Structure formats: C-alpha cells, structure tokens
Amino acid sequence: MVNWLNFFKVLRRKPPHIEALATHNHFSGLNSIETASHNRIYTLSPWVYVAVNRIAEACALVPLKVYRVQGDQKLEVVQHPLEILLDNPNPYMSR
C-alpha cells in the first residue's frame, strides 16, 4: 500500500531559512588542493602557527578521566585501560 502522505511531503519545499542553514552547515570534506593550501598557510604564517599551537596546548592540559555511572552518581575509575591509553596514546611521543 502506498503512503500518499510521504509523496506530498517530498513535494513540499523546506522554508528558505532552513535550506540556507542546511546548506551553510554542510561539510563535504576537503579535497587535496584545499588540504595542501591549508597546510601551506599553516607553515608559512607564524600567527596561524601560534594560534593553532595555543589551542592545541590548552586542549592537551584538560585532564581526561574515566567514570562509571551508578544511578545518579559518577564514580571515577582509577587505572582503567582507557585512562591509560588516553594518558599516553602514542608511546613514541610525549606531552
């Protein structure tokens, strides 16, 4: 049996402000030319380098912890394998 309500829903256009927002927030990924351009800007501009590094260093200082939820309480789990991995994700690099 055909559901005619779905057929008419397809014919109805979305309001223009929703279409504009959906188009604006659409991320299609970066192609290789854009990626190369961004990498070149990052390496050549000292201000971009400083800004990105400041943000990255601030993010690295946030303590990452593992919690277990019991009812309404969050209990910190000590020495959980995920916590150990988050503290040292790459053994060949250090913080």
pLDDT (tens digit per residue) in 53-90: 999 999 888 888 899 999 999 999 988 898 888 888 78
- Residue 50 domain-assigned? yes
**Spacing of C-alpha 80 from chain mean position:** 24
- Residue 8 domain-assigned? no
- Residue 5 domain-assigned? no
Q: Nearest CA to 59 among 38, 86, 33, 83?
A: 86
- Residue 9 domain-assigned? no
Residues 67 and 57 in one domain: no
Residue 36 phi, psi (nearest 5): -65, -40
Q: What is the pTM of this model?
A: 0.42
Residue 52 lies in domain:
31-62
- Residue 52 domain-assigned? yes
Q: How many other CB atoms are there within 10 angstroms of residue 78's CB atom?
A: 8
CA distance 44 to 38: 10
